A and B are shown apart, each in its own frame.
Chain A
Amino acid sequence: MSDVAPPKRTKRRVAQLDAADTAARPETATAQIVARDLCKTYVMGGSAVHALQDVNLEIAAGEYVAVTGQSGSGKSTFMNLIGALDQPTSGTLTVDGADLGKLSTNALAQYRNEKIGFVFQTFNLLPRTSALDNVALPLLYAQDTGDAKARARVSLERVGLAERAAHEPSALSGGQQQRVAIARALVNAPKILLADEPTGALDSKTTEEIIALFEDLNESGITVIIVTHELDIAARAKRQITFQDGRVVEDRS
Protein backbone atom coordinates (compact mmCIF):
# COMPACT_ATOMS: atom_id res chain seq x y z
CA MET A 1 0.00 0.00 0.00
CA SER A 2 1.50 3.32 -0.95
CA ASP A 3 0.39 6.90 -1.19
CA VAL A 4 -0.53 8.35 -4.52
CA ALA A 5 1.33 11.56 -5.20
CA PRO A 6 -1.24 14.32 -5.64
CA PRO A 7 -1.53 15.32 -9.30
CA LYS A 8 -0.15 18.77 -8.72
CA ARG A 9 -1.68 21.16 -11.21
CA THR A 10 -5.32 20.19 -10.71
CA LYS A 11 -4.92 19.97 -6.99
CA ARG A 12 -3.49 23.42 -6.73
CA ARG A 13 -6.58 24.70 -8.47
CA VAL A 14 -8.68 22.77 -6.02
CA ALA A 15 -6.72 24.33 -3.19
CA GLN A 16 -7.44 27.78 -4.51
CA LEU A 17 -11.10 27.02 -4.79
CA ASP A 18 -10.92 25.63 -1.33
CA ALA A 19 -9.38 28.83 0.02
CA ALA A 20 -12.15 30.91 -1.48
CA ASP A 21 -14.66 28.44 -0.14
CA THR A 22 -13.23 28.63 3.38
CA ALA A 23 -13.23 32.39 3.35
CA ALA A 24 -16.87 32.45 2.34
CA ARG A 25 -17.86 30.04 5.07
CA PRO A 26 -17.70 31.50 8.59
CA GLU A 27 -15.61 29.15 10.71
CA THR A 28 -16.77 28.28 14.19
CA ALA A 29 -14.38 29.64 16.76
CA THR A 30 -14.34 26.41 18.73
CA ALA A 31 -13.47 24.11 15.81
CA GLN A 32 -10.52 22.02 16.90
CA ILE A 33 -10.35 19.71 13.93
CA VAL A 34 -11.10 21.09 10.49
CA ALA A 35 -11.08 18.87 7.38
CA ARG A 36 -11.31 20.61 4.01
CA ASP A 37 -11.75 18.55 0.82
CA LEU A 38 -9.79 15.85 2.51
CA CYS A 39 -8.80 13.02 0.17
CA LYS A 40 -6.79 9.87 0.73
CA THR A 41 -5.99 7.49 -2.07
CA TYR A 42 -4.13 4.20 -1.77
CA VAL A 43 -2.77 2.02 -4.49
CA MET A 44 -3.52 -1.60 -3.82
CA GLY A 45 -2.55 -4.19 -6.35
CA GLY A 46 -2.17 -1.61 -9.10
CA SER A 47 -5.57 0.02 -8.73
CA ALA A 48 -6.33 3.21 -6.82
CA VAL A 49 -8.57 2.94 -3.79
CA HIS A 50 -10.22 6.19 -2.75
CA ALA A 51 -10.38 5.74 1.00
CA LEU A 52 -11.51 9.33 1.58
CA GLN A 53 -13.07 11.66 -0.97
CA ASP A 54 -13.63 15.36 -0.38
CA VAL A 55 -14.41 15.11 3.29
CA ASN A 56 -15.38 18.41 4.89
CA LEU A 57 -15.84 18.24 8.64
CA GLU A 58 -15.39 20.27 11.75
CA ILE A 59 -15.07 18.87 15.23
CA ALA A 60 -15.06 21.18 18.21
CA ALA A 61 -12.89 20.79 21.28
CA GLY A 62 -14.56 18.64 23.92
CA GLU A 63 -16.87 16.82 21.53
CA TYR A 64 -17.68 13.13 21.90
CA VAL A 65 -17.85 11.75 18.38
CA ALA A 66 -18.54 8.25 17.11
CA VAL A 67 -17.32 7.56 13.60
CA THR A 68 -19.23 4.68 12.07
CA GLY A 69 -19.51 2.94 8.77
CA GLN A 70 -18.89 -0.43 7.22
CA SER A 71 -15.38 -1.75 6.86
CA GLY A 72 -13.70 0.01 3.97
CA SER A 73 -15.89 3.06 4.40
CA GLY A 74 -12.93 5.26 5.29
CA LYS A 75 -13.68 5.78 8.97
CA SER A 76 -10.36 4.37 10.15
CA THR A 77 -8.49 6.30 7.46
CA PHE A 78 -10.12 9.48 8.71
CA MET A 79 -9.01 8.72 12.24
CA ASN A 80 -5.48 7.82 11.15
CA LEU A 81 -5.23 11.17 9.39
CA ILE A 82 -6.34 13.04 12.51
CA GLY A 83 -3.76 11.05 14.50
CA ALA A 84 -1.09 11.88 11.90
CA LEU A 85 -0.32 8.23 11.46
CA ASP A 86 -0.92 8.80 7.77
CA GLN A 87 -0.77 11.76 5.42
CA PRO A 88 -3.62 13.15 3.30
CA THR A 89 -3.29 12.80 -0.48
CA SER A 90 -4.94 16.18 -0.98
CA GLY A 91 -7.03 18.69 0.89
CA THR A 92 -6.15 20.02 4.30
CA LEU A 93 -6.57 18.77 7.80
CA THR A 94 -6.03 21.34 10.49
CA VAL A 95 -5.84 20.47 14.16
CA ASP A 96 -5.50 23.30 16.68
CA GLY A 97 -4.45 25.58 13.83
CA ALA A 98 -1.66 23.31 12.60
CA ASP A 99 -1.93 22.03 9.03
CA LEU A 100 -0.92 18.38 9.43
CA GLY A 101 -0.03 18.08 5.75
CA LYS A 102 2.67 20.71 6.14
CA LEU A 103 4.39 19.49 9.29
CA SER A 104 7.78 17.75 9.19
CA THR A 105 8.05 14.14 10.35
CA ASN A 106 9.60 15.31 13.61
CA ALA A 107 6.84 17.86 14.17
CA LEU A 108 4.25 15.16 13.45
CA ALA A 109 5.91 12.89 16.01
CA GLN A 110 5.73 15.68 18.57
CA TYR A 111 2.10 16.31 17.62
CA ARG A 112 1.22 12.64 18.19
CA ASN A 113 3.11 12.72 21.45
CA GLU A 114 1.53 15.86 22.90
CA LYS A 115 -1.93 16.25 21.38
CA ILE A 116 -3.13 12.75 20.63
CA GLY A 117 -3.82 9.67 22.71
CA PHE A 118 -4.36 6.45 20.77
CA VAL A 119 -6.41 3.46 21.84
CA PHE A 120 -6.29 0.45 19.54
CA GLN A 121 -8.54 -2.56 19.10
CA THR A 122 -5.63 -4.91 19.83
CA PHE A 123 -4.31 -2.80 22.73
CA ASN A 124 -0.75 -2.80 21.31
CA LEU A 125 0.94 -3.11 24.69
CA LEU A 126 4.63 -4.01 24.78
CA PRO A 127 5.02 -7.61 25.94
CA ARG A 128 7.29 -8.43 28.89
CA THR A 129 6.96 -4.84 30.03
CA SER A 130 5.11 -3.84 33.19
CA ALA A 131 1.80 -1.96 32.99
CA LEU A 132 3.53 1.04 34.53
CA ASP A 133 6.33 1.05 31.94
CA ASN A 134 3.78 0.60 29.16
CA VAL A 135 1.89 3.62 30.40
CA ALA A 136 5.10 5.64 30.69
CA LEU A 137 6.12 4.83 27.10
CA PRO A 138 4.93 8.14 25.51
CA LEU A 139 6.89 10.07 28.14
CA LEU A 140 10.04 8.39 26.82
CA TYR A 141 9.62 10.52 23.71
CA ALA A 142 8.23 13.64 25.39
CA GLN A 143 10.16 16.90 25.52
CA ASP A 144 9.54 17.51 29.19
CA THR A 145 8.87 14.31 31.06
CA GLY A 146 9.04 15.35 34.70
CA ASP A 147 8.76 12.31 36.92
CA ALA A 148 7.62 9.78 34.32
CA LYS A 149 6.88 6.99 36.80
CA ALA A 150 4.77 9.22 38.99
CA ARG A 151 2.78 10.50 36.04
CA ALA A 152 2.28 6.97 34.77
CA ARG A 153 1.04 5.94 38.20
CA VAL A 154 -1.46 8.81 38.29
CA SER A 155 -2.66 7.80 34.85
CA LEU A 156 -3.09 4.18 35.95
CA GLU A 157 -5.06 5.34 38.98
CA ARG A 158 -7.34 7.25 36.68
CA VAL A 159 -8.32 4.03 34.89
CA GLY A 160 -8.56 2.18 38.20
CA LEU A 161 -5.55 -0.09 37.74
CA ALA A 162 -3.05 1.34 40.22
CA GLU A 163 -2.68 -1.97 42.03
CA ARG A 164 -1.74 -3.74 38.77
CA ALA A 165 1.15 -1.43 37.95
CA ALA A 166 3.81 -4.13 38.18
CA HIS A 167 1.92 -6.72 36.11
CA GLU A 168 2.94 -7.53 32.58
CA PRO A 169 0.21 -7.53 29.89
CA SER A 170 0.14 -11.34 29.79
CA ALA A 171 -1.03 -11.32 33.43
CA LEU A 172 -3.93 -8.95 32.74
CA SER A 173 -7.42 -9.56 31.34
CA GLY A 174 -8.49 -8.03 28.05
CA GLY A 175 -10.42 -5.25 29.76
CA GLN A 176 -7.49 -4.52 32.03
CA GLN A 177 -5.12 -4.45 29.08
CA GLN A 178 -7.36 -1.97 27.29
CA ARG A 179 -7.49 0.17 30.42
CA VAL A 180 -3.67 0.13 30.56
CA ALA A 181 -3.71 1.25 26.92
CA ILE A 182 -6.11 4.07 27.81
CA ALA A 183 -3.87 5.08 30.70
CA ARG A 184 -0.99 5.17 28.21
CA ALA A 185 -3.07 7.36 25.89
CA LEU A 186 -3.78 9.72 28.78
CA VAL A 187 -0.34 9.93 30.32
CA ASN A 188 0.86 12.95 28.34
CA ALA A 189 -2.43 14.87 28.87
CA PRO A 190 -3.65 14.76 25.25
CA LYS A 191 -6.34 17.04 23.86
CA ILE A 192 -7.79 14.39 21.61
CA LEU A 193 -8.36 10.72 22.36
CA LEU A 194 -8.61 8.55 19.28
CA ALA A 195 -10.00 5.06 19.75
CA ASP A 196 -10.13 2.62 16.85
CA GLU A 197 -12.66 -0.12 17.64
CA PRO A 198 -11.60 -0.01 21.29
CA THR A 199 -14.13 -2.62 22.38
CA GLY A 200 -13.83 -4.90 19.37
CA ALA A 201 -11.88 -7.49 21.33
CA LEU A 202 -13.83 -7.23 24.58
CA ASP A 203 -16.96 -8.85 26.01
CA SER A 204 -20.08 -6.81 26.70
CA LYS A 205 -19.41 -6.24 30.40
CA THR A 206 -15.90 -4.87 29.90
CA THR A 207 -17.12 -2.97 26.87
CA GLU A 208 -19.50 -1.13 29.16
CA GLU A 209 -16.65 -0.34 31.58
CA ILE A 210 -14.45 1.01 28.82
CA ILE A 211 -17.24 3.11 27.28
CA ALA A 212 -18.06 4.52 30.72
CA LEU A 213 -14.39 5.44 31.05
CA PHE A 214 -14.49 7.27 27.71
CA GLU A 215 -17.58 9.19 28.79
CA ASP A 216 -15.84 10.07 32.01
CA LEU A 217 -12.79 11.34 30.14
CA ASN A 218 -14.98 13.36 27.77
CA GLU A 219 -16.61 14.95 30.81
CA SER A 220 -13.17 16.16 31.89
CA GLY A 221 -12.82 18.05 28.59
CA ILE A 222 -10.93 15.73 26.29
CA THR A 223 -12.19 15.41 22.73
CA VAL A 224 -13.06 11.74 22.26
CA ILE A 225 -13.35 10.22 18.81
CA ILE A 226 -14.34 6.57 18.69
CA VAL A 227 -14.30 4.58 15.49
CA THR A 228 -16.75 1.72 15.75
CA HIS A 229 -19.12 -0.38 13.69
CA GLU A 230 -21.24 -1.26 16.75
CA LEU A 231 -24.33 0.91 16.63
CA ASP A 232 -25.13 0.74 20.34
CA ILE A 233 -21.69 2.13 21.17
CA ALA A 234 -22.08 4.81 18.52
CA ALA A 235 -25.44 5.75 19.99
CA ARG A 236 -23.78 6.62 23.30
CA ALA A 237 -21.76 9.37 21.66
CA LYS A 238 -23.08 12.91 21.40
CA ARG A 239 -22.42 13.03 17.67
CA GLN A 240 -22.39 10.31 15.06
CA ILE A 241 -20.59 10.68 11.77
CA THR A 242 -21.22 7.94 9.26
CA PHE A 243 -18.86 7.19 6.38
CA GLN A 244 -19.65 5.30 3.22
CA ASP A 245 -17.29 4.78 0.29
CA GLY A 246 -14.96 7.47 1.59
CA ARG A 247 -17.61 10.14 1.97
CA VAL A 248 -19.56 11.45 4.93
CA VAL A 249 -23.14 10.35 4.40
CA GLU A 250 -24.58 11.27 7.74
CA ASP A 251 -23.60 13.68 10.53
CA ARG A 252 -26.01 13.59 13.44
CA SER A 253 -25.82 15.38 16.79
Chain B
Amino acid sequence: MPLCQIRGLTHYFGGLRAVYDFNLDLEEGELIGLIGPNGAGKTTVFNLVCGVYRPTEGEIRFNGTDIVGLRPHQITALGIARTFQNIRLWGQRTVLDNIRIAQYARVRYGLLDAFFHTPRYWAEEKEILHRSLELLDLLDLKAYAYEQAQNLPYGLQRRVEIARALATQPRLLLLDEPAAGMNPAEIEDLLDLIHWIRDQFHLTIWVIEHQMRLIMSICERIKVLDFGETIAEGTPAEIQANPRVIQAYLGEEVA
Protein backbone atom coordinates (compact mmCIF):
# COMPACT_ATOMS: atom_id res chain seq x y z
CA MET B 1 0.00 0.00 0.00
CA PRO B 2 1.33 3.47 -0.81
CA LEU B 3 2.45 5.66 2.09
CA CYS B 4 0.31 8.55 0.94
CA GLN B 5 -2.67 8.34 -1.35
CA ILE B 6 -4.32 11.43 -2.77
CA ARG B 7 -7.57 11.07 -4.69
CA GLY B 8 -9.55 13.71 -6.51
CA LEU B 9 -8.11 16.59 -4.52
CA THR B 10 -9.91 19.80 -5.47
CA HIS B 11 -9.75 23.21 -3.86
CA TYR B 12 -11.49 26.49 -4.55
CA PHE B 13 -10.56 29.90 -3.18
CA GLY B 14 -13.97 31.52 -3.52
CA GLY B 15 -14.65 31.20 -7.22
CA LEU B 16 -11.05 30.52 -8.17
CA ARG B 17 -10.23 26.90 -8.84
CA ALA B 18 -6.73 26.48 -7.41
CA VAL B 19 -6.38 22.71 -7.61
CA TYR B 20 -8.54 20.36 -9.64
CA ASP B 21 -8.73 16.58 -9.44
CA PHE B 22 -5.21 15.98 -8.18
CA ASN B 23 -4.25 12.32 -7.76
CA LEU B 24 -1.00 10.91 -6.47
CA ASP B 25 0.32 7.76 -4.86
CA LEU B 26 3.54 8.16 -2.92
CA GLU B 27 5.39 4.93 -2.35
CA GLU B 28 7.66 4.52 0.66
CA GLY B 29 11.14 5.83 -0.11
CA GLU B 30 10.24 7.63 -3.33
CA LEU B 31 11.58 11.00 -4.38
CA ILE B 32 8.91 12.84 -6.29
CA GLY B 33 8.92 16.25 -7.90
CA LEU B 34 6.05 18.66 -8.42
CA ILE B 35 6.65 21.39 -10.95
CA GLY B 36 4.65 23.95 -12.85
CA PRO B 37 4.64 27.62 -13.78
CA ASN B 38 4.07 30.27 -11.10
CA GLY B 39 0.55 30.18 -9.72
CA ALA B 40 -0.08 26.64 -10.89
CA GLY B 41 -1.22 25.56 -7.43
CA LYS B 42 1.83 23.64 -6.25
CA THR B 43 2.09 25.21 -2.81
CA THR B 44 -1.69 24.92 -2.43
CA VAL B 45 -1.35 21.16 -2.84
CA PHE B 46 1.22 21.15 -0.03
CA ASN B 47 -1.02 23.29 2.14
CA LEU B 48 -3.91 20.90 1.57
CA VAL B 49 -1.80 17.90 2.49
CA CYS B 50 -0.50 19.62 5.64
CA GLY B 51 -3.93 20.72 6.76
CA VAL B 52 -3.45 24.48 6.39
CA TYR B 53 -6.49 24.47 4.11
CA ARG B 54 -9.30 21.99 4.16
CA PRO B 55 -9.85 20.67 0.63
CA THR B 56 -13.18 21.44 -1.03
CA GLU B 57 -13.26 17.86 -2.25
CA GLY B 58 -11.05 14.84 -2.28
CA GLU B 59 -9.39 12.34 -0.07
CA ILE B 60 -5.92 12.19 1.44
CA ARG B 61 -4.87 9.01 3.17
CA PHE B 62 -1.57 8.87 4.96
CA ASN B 63 -0.29 5.57 6.22
CA GLY B 64 -3.83 4.23 6.16
CA THR B 65 -5.55 7.11 8.01
CA ASP B 66 -7.77 9.71 6.46
CA ILE B 67 -6.14 13.03 7.32
CA VAL B 68 -8.64 15.43 5.75
CA GLY B 69 -9.99 17.72 8.48
CA LEU B 70 -7.23 17.06 10.97
CA ARG B 71 -5.42 20.11 12.33
CA PRO B 72 -1.91 20.75 10.99
CA HIS B 73 -0.14 19.81 14.20
CA GLN B 74 -1.96 16.48 14.27
CA ILE B 75 -0.92 15.76 10.68
CA THR B 76 2.67 16.66 11.53
CA ALA B 77 2.56 14.34 14.51
CA LEU B 78 1.40 11.55 12.20
CA GLY B 79 4.57 11.98 10.17
CA ILE B 80 4.30 14.67 7.50
CA ALA B 81 6.73 17.57 7.85
CA ARG B 82 7.51 20.41 5.52
CA THR B 83 9.72 23.37 4.83
CA PHE B 84 8.50 26.68 3.48
CA GLN B 85 9.00 28.64 0.31
CA ASN B 86 9.90 31.70 2.34
CA ILE B 87 11.95 30.66 5.31
CA ARG B 88 9.78 30.55 8.42
CA LEU B 89 12.19 29.86 11.21
CA TRP B 90 11.56 31.30 14.65
CA GLY B 91 14.20 33.92 13.96
CA GLN B 92 14.86 35.28 17.42
CA ARG B 93 15.31 31.86 18.97
CA THR B 94 18.52 29.90 18.82
CA VAL B 95 18.94 27.16 16.24
CA LEU B 96 18.81 24.68 19.09
CA ASP B 97 15.48 26.06 20.32
CA ASN B 98 14.07 25.81 16.80
CA ILE B 99 14.93 22.13 16.79
CA ARG B 100 13.64 21.55 20.31
CA ILE B 101 10.29 23.26 19.85
CA ALA B 102 9.66 21.14 16.74
CA GLN B 103 9.68 18.12 19.07
CA TYR B 104 6.62 19.44 20.91
CA ALA B 105 4.43 16.52 19.84
CA ARG B 106 6.79 14.09 21.51
CA VAL B 107 6.93 15.82 24.88
CA ARG B 108 5.35 13.40 27.31
CA TYR B 109 5.66 15.30 30.58
CA GLY B 110 2.58 17.15 31.73
CA LEU B 111 1.94 20.80 32.42
CA LEU B 112 2.62 20.41 36.12
CA ASP B 113 6.02 18.96 35.31
CA ALA B 114 6.70 22.04 33.20
CA PHE B 115 5.52 24.39 35.97
CA PHE B 116 7.50 22.76 38.76
CA HIS B 117 10.46 21.32 36.84
CA THR B 118 10.09 17.87 38.32
CA PRO B 119 12.72 15.13 37.88
CA ARG B 120 10.59 13.78 35.07
CA TYR B 121 10.85 17.16 33.33
CA TRP B 122 14.64 17.22 33.60
CA ALA B 123 15.01 13.66 32.38
CA GLU B 124 12.94 14.34 29.31
CA GLU B 125 14.43 17.73 28.56
CA LYS B 126 17.87 16.17 28.63
CA GLU B 127 16.67 13.55 26.20
CA ILE B 128 15.27 16.24 23.90
CA LEU B 129 18.49 18.23 24.13
CA HIS B 130 20.51 15.16 23.35
CA ARG B 131 18.40 14.26 20.33
CA SER B 132 18.52 17.84 19.07
CA LEU B 133 22.28 18.14 19.31
CA GLU B 134 22.66 14.79 17.64
CA LEU B 135 20.47 15.92 14.75
CA LEU B 136 22.37 19.20 14.44
CA ASP B 137 25.60 17.26 14.44
CA LEU B 138 24.38 15.01 11.64
CA LEU B 139 23.51 18.03 9.52
CA ASP B 140 26.78 19.85 10.32
CA LEU B 141 24.91 22.57 12.17
CA LYS B 142 26.14 21.93 15.67
CA ALA B 143 28.53 24.87 15.56
CA TYR B 144 25.54 27.18 15.18
CA ALA B 145 23.40 25.63 17.92
CA TYR B 146 23.47 28.74 20.08
CA GLU B 147 23.20 31.31 17.28
CA GLN B 148 19.96 33.16 16.70
CA ALA B 149 18.41 31.59 13.61
CA GLN B 150 17.93 34.95 11.92
CA ASN B 151 21.66 35.69 12.07
CA LEU B 152 22.66 32.73 9.92
CA PRO B 153 23.39 33.11 6.21
CA TYR B 154 20.57 32.21 3.86
CA GLY B 155 21.83 28.80 2.79
CA LEU B 156 22.30 27.72 6.40
CA GLN B 157 18.83 28.93 7.33
CA ARG B 158 17.46 26.63 4.63
CA ARG B 159 19.46 23.82 6.16
CA VAL B 160 18.15 24.61 9.65
CA GLU B 161 14.63 24.55 8.27
CA ILE B 162 15.21 21.07 6.91
CA ALA B 163 16.71 20.05 10.24
CA ARG B 164 13.67 21.44 12.04
CA ALA B 165 11.34 19.46 9.79
CA LEU B 166 13.40 16.33 10.47
CA ALA B 167 13.13 16.96 14.21
CA THR B 168 9.42 16.18 14.04
CA GLN B 169 10.48 12.67 12.92
CA PRO B 170 8.54 12.58 9.67
CA ARG B 171 8.04 9.73 7.26
CA LEU B 172 7.12 12.07 4.44
CA LEU B 173 9.06 15.27 3.95
CA LEU B 174 7.65 18.05 1.78
CA LEU B 175 10.23 20.52 0.50
CA ASP B 176 8.75 23.72 -0.92
CA GLU B 177 11.32 25.24 -3.27
CA PRO B 178 14.36 24.31 -1.19
CA ALA B 179 16.75 25.82 -3.73
CA ALA B 180 15.03 29.20 -4.04
CA GLY B 181 17.61 31.96 -3.90
CA MET B 182 20.58 29.62 -3.80
CA ASN B 183 23.72 29.93 -5.89
CA PRO B 184 24.94 26.98 -8.01
CA ALA B 185 27.42 25.79 -5.40
CA GLU B 186 24.74 25.80 -2.70
CA ILE B 187 22.41 23.89 -5.02
CA GLU B 188 25.06 21.18 -5.45
CA ASP B 189 25.26 20.84 -1.66
CA LEU B 190 21.50 20.71 -1.45
CA LEU B 191 21.33 17.88 -4.00
CA ASP B 192 23.70 15.82 -1.89
CA LEU B 193 21.83 16.72 1.25
CA ILE B 194 18.44 15.64 -0.10
CA HIS B 195 19.81 12.29 -1.25
CA TRP B 196 21.64 11.80 1.99
CA ILE B 197 18.70 12.55 4.28
CA ARG B 198 16.44 10.24 2.31
CA ASP B 199 18.81 7.35 2.90
CA GLN B 200 19.79 8.33 6.42
CA PHE B 201 16.26 8.88 7.73
CA HIS B 202 14.44 6.44 5.41
CA LEU B 203 12.15 9.14 4.13
CA THR B 204 9.78 9.69 1.29
CA ILE B 205 10.46 13.11 -0.17
CA TRP B 206 8.22 15.31 -2.25
CA VAL B 207 9.81 18.44 -3.73
CA ILE B 208 8.40 21.55 -5.34
CA GLU B 209 11.10 23.28 -7.31
CA HIS B 210 11.75 25.69 -10.14
CA GLN B 211 15.39 24.77 -10.57
CA MET B 212 15.10 22.23 -13.38
CA ARG B 213 18.68 21.16 -12.87
CA LEU B 214 17.79 20.03 -9.34
CA ILE B 215 14.45 18.46 -10.07
CA MET B 216 15.63 16.57 -13.14
CA SER B 217 18.66 15.14 -11.40
CA ILE B 218 17.07 13.92 -8.18
CA CYS B 219 13.45 13.02 -8.83
CA GLU B 220 12.42 9.59 -9.92
CA ARG B 221 8.99 10.76 -10.94
CA ILE B 222 7.65 14.20 -11.72
CA LYS B 223 4.18 15.66 -11.83
CA VAL B 224 3.46 18.84 -13.72
CA LEU B 225 0.67 21.21 -12.73
CA ASP B 226 -0.74 24.08 -14.74
CA PHE B 227 -3.72 26.16 -13.60
CA GLY B 228 -4.43 23.58 -10.92
CA GLU B 229 -4.65 20.66 -13.31
CA THR B 230 -2.19 17.86 -13.84
CA ILE B 231 -0.88 18.11 -17.37
CA ALA B 232 1.85 15.51 -17.31
CA GLU B 233 3.40 12.82 -15.18
CA GLY B 234 6.41 10.62 -15.68
CA THR B 235 10.16 10.21 -15.46
CA PRO B 236 12.38 13.27 -15.91
CA ALA B 237 13.18 12.24 -19.50
CA GLU B 238 9.52 11.88 -20.38
CA ILE B 239 8.67 15.22 -18.87
CA GLN B 240 11.45 16.99 -20.73
CA ALA B 241 10.10 15.65 -24.02
CA ASN B 242 6.43 16.29 -23.28
CA PRO B 243 5.00 18.94 -25.64
CA ARG B 244 2.31 20.08 -23.17
CA VAL B 245 4.95 20.82 -20.54
CA ILE B 246 7.03 22.81 -22.96
CA GLN B 247 3.91 24.67 -23.99
CA ALA B 248 2.97 25.47 -20.41
CA TYR B 249 6.42 26.78 -19.62
CA LEU B 250 7.37 28.49 -22.86
CA GLY B 251 4.03 29.23 -24.48
CA GLU B 252 2.77 28.24 -27.90
CA GLU B 253 4.72 28.78 -31.03
CA VAL B 254 3.25 31.58 -33.07
CA ALA B 255 2.72 30.54 -36.61
Do A and B belong to a common assembly?
Answer: no
Q: Enumerate chain A interface residues (CB-CB to B < 8 A).
A: none
